[in-house]
Structure 1
Amino acid sequence: MPRKHLIANQINKKQQSNAKLWQKLAKEIKAAVKVGGTDPETNYRLKAAIDKALTYNLSKDSINRNIYGNSNKEDDQLIEAEYEIYGPGGLGIIVRTLSDNPNRVISSLNGYISKLKGSLAKPNSVKINFQEQGIILTDLNNYHDEALLELLIDYELIDINSDEEGYEIITVPNAYYEVKKKLEAAGFKIHHSELKLIPLLYVQLTPEQNEMFERFSASCENDDDIQWIVANNQ
């Protein structure tokens, strides 16, 4: 299997999981519009938010409502923040929040960190070990590796991996959208695509440490104020 950098959301009830995820995707779209306007061609963040929303099957109608619909008072007061965390066993975590109540965020996050036996880190002390990359998973489309490299020769790629199911193309952020368009034009089926922070180095946790991280991750996933987390565990 190709290296899958995409962390799957795991909640017992799928409908609840989808509803929670779509709510967070909608918040990200609204925040992107607030910062950069409604045109995704000039608003890089909005384009990324729409792309991710479509990947996770948020309907186009819902996307458009969140772009062009009237915002409420709560939407206007949304404040985003990023927290870097040291966990056990060399674990590094980045948490992105989007909330109208920063005090509630800090209170909740401190509780999660305490159970993790972790600590808040200084800005960029964890993030320096991550790199933003474009991840695109496709079918094989009857291409061999050399033909795919030739197709994408004009774009800055980080890596290409393949197996019997398809390709994983990893790009620098600036090449992500152009590579995706090129692949679609060539007839590739895009299974998943996303701009994502990827660890430069991974750590191997003990079973006990991994269990603590799984509980931390589940708490963050179920928290409406937390948009996403990334970590450097294998």
Structure 2
Amino acid sequence: MSGHSKWHNIQGRKNAQDAKRGKIFQKLSRELFMAAKSGGPDPADNPSLRLVMDKARAANMPKVNIKRALDKAEGGDDTHYDEITYEAYGPGAIPVLIHTLTDNKNRTNSAVRVAVTRSGGNMGAAGSVSYMFDRKGYIVISREGLDVDEDQMLEDVLEAGAEDLQTSDDAFEIYTDQKDLAAVRDALEKKGYKLETAELTMIPKTKTEIPADKVEQFDNMIDKLEDDDDVQDVYYAGTFPEDSEAK
């Protein structure tokens, strides 16, 4: 694979995310709690929890915060969160998936709808957007200080069981079948690679450039959604104009 990367987009938003670090930790705590409640607090016996813990470490979440979330689950806290994924079209008719964990559906329904519609988007019916995305495993290995070329990395990731490799100046991005993520992660770590992140994500099958006159509205919608305590992840099948120019 080639072209502009998911990792580039993540890094491009990093400064804004740094300012929201406390909120990110809060959301990760919710994911850790849910994973531990459903599969137990030991990541060795709970692959879902291991993935969330990897995600938490990649976000530099303090160990004490991780332990607090696991202790809460192990301690019998009866808080329940519903997983709800909303489908929408953002400004410029860009497909958007919004994954939430909520203890109050009405509150979340209202907040997501307001964030989308007041930014010039529209809510979609169930199934209207999700078919445009594939659920994949996603692994990032930074190229900083790494003396491995693209050919060697491709050989290693395919041997580990991955499906695809995307290379940029900053990182190697590896895509796997969702069922193979843990196995590929473990195989690459055994080869000595340090992984920046290893997680399940939604990858758009195709991307459309966000119209220049809709960029501000679209960015505003994403910020409002990511700022909501109940929104865990936002995925969209669009590229910003400057991303397209960099291809």
Amino acid at match of 1:83: Y
**Deviations for 1:105-155, whole angstroms, at most 9, x for unmatched residues?**
111122112213322222222111111222222245433333333334444
Aligned-pair Cα RMSD in Å: 2.5
Amino acid at match of 1:191: E
Change (3 A) 1:214 1:176: same
**Deviations for 1:38-95, whole angstroms, at most 9, x for unmatched residues?**
233443332221111111111233212211333656xx13222111112233311111
**Match 1:129 to one of 119, 128, 132:** 132
Aligned to 2:122: 119
Amino acid at match of 1:198: I
Aligned to 2:112: 109
Q: Tell me the distance in 1 between the aligned counterparts of 2:14 and 2:158.
A: 37
2:22 counterpart of 1:30 = no
Change (3 A) 1:78 1:93: same
Check the 8 A contact 1:10/1:17 in 2, yes or no.
no
**Deviations for 1:183-207, whole angstroms, at most 9, x for unmatched residues?**
2222223233332111111011112
Q: Tell me the distance in 1 between the aligned counterparts of 2:158 and 2:116.
A: 44
- Structure 1 residue 166: deviation in Å? 4.1
2:213 counterpart of 1:208 = yes
- Structure 1 residue 13: deviation in Å? 8.3
Name the stretch that deviates more: 52-61 or 36-45.
36-45
Amino acid at match of 1:227: Q
Q: Tell me the distance in 1 between the aligned counterparts of 2:100 and 2:200.
A: 17
Name the stretch that deviates more: 139-148 or 195-204.
139-148
Residue aligned with 2:196, SS:
strand
Q: What is the TM-score normalised by the length of structure 1?
A: 0.86
Q: Tell me the distance in 1 between the aligned counterparts of 2:202 and 2:181.
A: 13
2:202 counterpart of 1:190 = no
Segments of 5+ residues of structure 1 without an aligned counterpart are none
2:229 counterpart of 1:228 = no
Aligned to 2:244: none
2:181 counterpart of 1:180 = no
